[in-house]
Structure 1
Amino acid sequence: MNLSTFRSAAAHVAAAFCLFGAAAAPALAAPIKNIVLVHGAFVDGSGWRPVYDILEKDGYNVTLVQEPLTSFKDDVTATKRVLDSLDGPAVLVGHSYGGAIITEAGNDDHVKSLVYIAAHALDVGETEVSNGKKFPNSTKAVIRTPDNYLYLNPANYPADFAGDLPRAQAEFEAHAQMPTAASVFTAQIPDPAWKNKPVWYMVAKADKIINPDLERMYAGRAHAHTVEIDGASHSVYESHPKEVAALIEEAAQQSGQ
C-alpha cells in the first residue's frame, strides 16, 4: 500500500469513528421552559410578580396558580388544572403553604422537578401544625375567624411576614390578605412528590413564619439543592427575586427532558 492509499484509508476510518461517536453520544436535554408558581397562605399570586418578570425576560413560560385557600383539596385541584393546561414538562414552585400543595400536586406527570421557597415539604403522617410544634415559629399574630379561617394580625404582619420589604408595601399586603381555611394546615399527604423527583430549596434565614431549622430539615431529608439567604423574611420570594429566579432556572436547566 502506497502512502497516498494509506492516508486515504486512515481518513475513511477516522470519519467512520466520528460518525459513530456522534450517533452514540446522547443528545443534551433541553431546559424545561414551563414554570408554575404557587403562592402560600394569606396572600395571592401577585407577590410573585418580581420573579415572574425575571423568568419571562429569560424566555420561560410562567403561569401563576391563584388557589382559593378554601381547602387543601381545592388548592391542589387549582394547581392541577394549571398543570393540565400545559404543553410539555414543568418545574413546579411553591412558597410557604404552597409547598404542601406542590408536594401533592407534584405527582402530576407534567412535573419534572420541585422548588420550595421557604416552604413546607411534608412527609407521610405530618401536618404543618404538627411540624410547627416541633419547630416553633416566632409569630403570635394568627387570628381565627368565627367560620374557621385564619389570617395574620395586620399590626404584626409587616414585622412577622415581610420584615425585609418596604414598610408601605408590607402594610398594604397586611390589609390585602386572603383569609385561609384553618383546615389546610392539618392536611396530610399520602405520597409526597419530593421522594420521587429532584428538589431545590431556599431557606429564608430570618423567617418568623416557618422556623428556618424546619426549612433546613425539609431540605436535608429531600436531598435538595439548597441555598440560604441571609436576612430574608418569609417574603423572600418578593425581597430577593433575583436569587429565587436563579434557583428556579437552575432547576429548569438541570431537570430538562
Structure 2
Amino acid sequence: MTVDRRTFGKAAFAAGVAVLAERTMAASPPGGEARNVVLVHGLFADGSSWSEVIPLLQARGLTVTSVQNPLTTLEEAVDAARRVLDRQDGPTVLAGHSFSGMIVTEASVHPNVSALVYVAARAPDAGEDYTALAARFPAPPASAGILFDGDEGRLSEAAFLRDFAGDLPEARARALFAVQQPFRRALLAGRTTQAAWRTKPSYYAVSTEDRTINPDLQRFMAKRMGARTIELKSSHVSLISHPRAIAGLILEAAGRR
C-alpha cells in the first residue's frame, strides 16, 4: 500500500496542532484573576504558620483558607486539601510550604486551581522518589534533629530553633515550636501520582539560608518546573520572616499585582 506523503504530512501537522492546543488549554488558568487562596502547611507546623501572610492577602480582597494538614499519609493530606478546594468559588491559588509541596503538586490538578506557589517546598515529578532526589544534594542540618516516638515524628527543640526557624526571634520560634504537630512515619513514604506544575503556572520562593531543605535542591526543582522564582535570604520559614515577599508572590500568582 502506498501512502501520499503530502496527505500524511498534513495529518501529522493537524495532530501536532491538536496536541499543542490541548496542552495550551490545560496550562491556562480557569478564568482570569484568582478569587481565592488555599494555603497548606508542612511538617513541624500547623495552619497558624500562615498567620503573617493571611491578613496581607485578605487586605487585597482574596478569600483565604489555611488547611489543617493531618500529617498522616500523603493520600489523606491531599484529600484534606481537595475538600477545601471543592468549596472554593472560582479560580484559586494553591500555595504550600515545605513538605506540603507534595500536596500542591498532586492536588493542583483540581479544576479550581489556577496557579501553584511553592514556599521552600518539595516539588516532585509524578511518581518520583523525593528521598532519592534529595539525596543528590548535601543533607540539610535539620534532618539530624528529627525524633521518633514510635510511629510519630517531630523536630527537637534545638533543631527547630536553629535549623527550622533560625532567623526568627527566639520567643517567636519557641511559640511556633509549642504548636508543632507530629507527623506519621507513613507520610514520608508517599509519592505523587500527578505533577500539576507541568500544566499550570507555577511560582517558587527559594530560601537561601535554609537548613531544612537544601537551597540548591530548591533551585533545581524551581528551574525544572519553569517556575517564576524569587530568592529570599531566609530560614526555612520565609512565610513568617518575610511575609510581605511571600504574599507578593502569591498575589502575582493570583493576577493581583
TM-score surpassing 0.5? yes
Percent identical pairs in the alignment equals 41
1:60-71 counterparts in 2 under 5 A?
Answer: 60-71=62-73
**2:229 matched to which residue of 1?**
226
Equivalent residue for 1:154?
A: 157
Mapped to 2, the partners of 1:129 and 1:58 lie a distance apart of 38
- Report Cα offsets for 1:11-40 as digits up to 9, x if no partner: xxxxxxxxxxxxxxxxxx742121110111
TM, length-normalised to structure 1: 0.84
Secondary structure of the residue that 2:95 maps to in structure 1?
strand
Q: Partner residue of 1:119?
A: 121
Pick aligned residue for 1:217 from 206, 216, 220: 220
In the comparison of the two structures, how many residue pairs are matched?
A: 225
Task: Tell me the CA shift for residue 132 of structure 1.
Answer: 2.5
Verify the 8 A CA contact 1:128 1:185 in the aligned structure 2.
no
Q: Is the 8 A contact 2:33 2:91 kept in 1?
A: no
Q: CA 1:182/1:128 → structure 2, altered by over 3 Å: closer, same or farther?
A: farther
Where do residues 122-201 of structure 1 align in structure 2 (5 Å cutoff)? 122-135=124-137, 136-139=139-142, 140-146=144-150, 148-201=151-204
- Counterpart of 2:209? 206
Counterpart-to-counterpart distance in 1, 2:221 and 2:186: 21
Give 1:93's match in structure 2, choosing from 95, 102, 106: 95
- Please report how far the alpha carbon of residue 203 of structure 1 lies from its aligned counterpart in structure 2 after TM superposition: 0.1
Specify every segment of 5 or more residues in structure 1 that has no aligned partner in the other structure, as ranges. Answer: 1-28
Instruction: Name the structure 2 match of 1:4.
Output: none
Determine if contact 2:38/2:67 at 8 Å carries over to the other structure.
Answer: yes
Alignment root-mean-square deviation, CA: 1.5
Contact kept? 2:47, 2:68, Cα under 8 Å? yes
Residue 55 of structure 1, aligned match among 42, 54, 57: 57
Which one has the largest radius of gyration? 1
Runs of 4+ in 1 over 4 A off after TM superposition: none
After superposition, the C-alpha distances for 1:198-252 in whole angstroms (9 at most, x for unaligned) are: 100000000000000010011001000000002x000111110000000000011
The separation in 1 between residues aligned to 2:141 and 2:130, in whole angstroms, is: 15
Tell me the SS of whatever aligns to 1:143.
strand
Residue segments in structure 2 that go unaligned for 5+ positions in a row = 1-30
Q: CA deviation at 1:149?
A: 1.8
The answer to whether the 8 A contact 1:114-1:199 is kept is yes
Question: Secondary structure at the residue paired with 2:229?
Answer: strand
Q: Which one-letter code corresponds to 2:148 in the other structure?
A: R
Question: Structure 2 CA distance, aligned partners of 1:36 and 1:187?
Answer: 22
Distance between the aligned counterparts of 2:186 and 2:229, measured in 1?
Answer: 29
Deviation at residue 187 of structure 1 after TM alignment: 1.2
Residue identity matched to 1:87: D
State the AA in 2 paired with 1:118.
Answer: A
- For the 8 Å contact 2:43–2:183, the answer to whether it is kept is yes
Q: Is the 8 A contact 2:39 2:96 kept in 1?
A: yes
> Is residue 2:25 matched to residue 1:33?
no
Tell me, in whole angstroms, the C-alpha distance in 2 between the residues paired with 1:131 and 1:42.
21
What is the Cα deviation at residue 254 of structure 1? 7.4
SS of residue paired to 2:219: helix
Aligned position for 1:79: 81
User: What amino acid is aligned across from residue 77 of structure 1 in structure 2?
Assistant: D
Cα distance change of structure 1 residues 124 and 245 upon mapping to structure 2, 3 Å threshold: same
What amino acid sits opposite 2:90 in the alignment? G
Distance 1:227 1:73 in 2: 30
Pairwise CA distance, 1:171 = 1.5
